[in-house]
Structure 1
Amino acid sequence: MTRAAPLYQLKAEFFKTLGHPVRIRVLELLSRREHAVSEMLAEIAVEPAHLSQQLAVLRRANLVVARREGSAVHYALTDPRVAELLAVARAILSGVLAGQAELLADLRAAGPESPPGPEPTPGG
C-alpha cells in the first residue's frame, strides 16, 4: 500500500510550480480573463517554445486548462482561487516593500554617521 505524500510536501510542490516568473505572469494574465497563446506572447517577452514549455508545466499541475478554437489555443485558470492567491501574494509583498521603504527613509533621515574612531582625549 502506497502512502500519500504529506500535505506540506504537496504544498511545497505547488509553490515550486509557481516559482517561475513566466508562469506567474501567465497566471496573472489569466486571472483577468482567458487568453489565446498569441495574446500571451504579445504580453510576455519570451520565445514561443519557452511559453509553451511553461504552459505545459501549469497544465500538468492542473492550474490552467486549454481549449482549441480553430487554429488558436486559449488558456484559462482551472480555479479562480489562483487569482486570489496571487492577490494575497501581492498584498504581502506590498507590505514587505513598504516596511523596507520606511526603514530606508529612517536611515536617510538619520543622516550620515561618523565612522568609528578613537575616543577624543581630554584637553586634546
Structure 2
Amino acid sequence: MSAPLYQLKAEFFKTLGHPVRIRVLELLSQREHAVAELLPEVGVEAAALSQQLAVLRKANLVLTRREGVNVHYRLASDEVAELLRVARTILSGVLRGQAALLADLDATAPRQL
C-alpha cells in the first residue's frame, strides 16, 4: 500500500526544510547555474553544497547537465519557482500581521516615568 498523500507532502516539505536548499532553489528559479556559480552565492563549503544538491536531485526537484568538467543545475519544473513565490507571499503577510500586532502592543503599553 502506498503512503497517504499527506505523508508524501510532509516528506516533500522536509526536503525543502533546509536554508541552503531553499537558497539554491531560489537561485535556480532565476536561471541555470553551474556548481561553481552557486558556491559564492550560497556561502557554504563545496562538500556541503554537494550534499544539499544531492538531496534536491534525489527528490527530483533539480536536473543536471554536464558540460566538460562543469555540472549545471536547473529546476525540474516551473512549479518549484511558483511554490517559492507563494511561500514569500505567505511570509510577507505573516510578517505584516506581526508588525501590526507589535505596533498595537507598543501603542497600548504603559508609559514609563
What pairs up with 1:73-88 in 2 under 5 angstroms?
A: 73-88=71-86
Q: TM-score, normalised by structure 1?
A: 0.87
Mapped to 1, the partners of 2:72 and 2:15 lie a distance apart of 20
Give runs of aligned pairs for residues 1-124 of structure 1, distance below 5 A: 3-112=1-110
The percent identity for this pair of structures is 74
Q: Cα offset for 1:42?
A: 1.2
Query: SS in structure 1 opposite 2:64?
Result: strand
Matched residues in 1 for 2:98 and 2:106: separation? 12
Q: Give the structure-2-normalised TM-score.
A: 0.95
- In the alignment, structure 2 segments of 5+ residues that lack a partner are none
User: How big is each residue's C-alpha offset from its partner over 1:72-117, in whole Å with a ceiling of 9 and x where there is no partner?
Assistant: 1100000110000000000000000000000111111223268xxx
Residue 121 of structure 1 corresponds to: none
**Greater Rg by CA:** 1
> Shift of residue 51 of structure 1?
0.2
Query: Which letter does structure 2 place at the counterpart of 1:78?
Result: A
Structure 1's unaligned 5+ residue stretches are 115-124
Write the letter of the residue equivalent to 2:25: L
Distance in 2 of aligned mates of 1:11 and 1:68: 30
Aligned residues: 112
